[in-house]
Amino acid sequence: MASKGLLDKLNDAIAREIQVSVQYMWQHVTVRGINAESVGGIFKGFAITEMKHAESIAERLDYLGGEPTTKPAPITVGKSLKDMLKINKKAEEDAIKLYKEIVSLAEKEGDVVTKRLFEGILSDEEEHHNTFSTLLED
d(CA 131, CA 33): 19
Inform me whether the pLDDT recorded for 15 exceeds 80: yes
What is the CB-side half-sphere exposure of residue 71 using CA atoms within 13 A?
A: 4
What is the CB neighbour count within 10 angstroms for residue 92?
A: 23
Encode pLDDT of 33-76 as tens digits: 999 999 999 999 999 999 999 999 999 999 999 999 999 999 99
DSSP 117: H
Global pTM?
0.96
At the topology level, CATH places domain 4-136 in Ferritin (1.20.1260)
pLDDT, position 2 = 87
Domain range summary for the chain, segments of one domain joined by +: 4-136
56 Cβ neighbours under 8 A, 6+ residues apart: 117, 121
Encode pLDDT of 96-137 as tens digits: 999 999 999 999 999 999 999 999 999 999 999 999 999 999
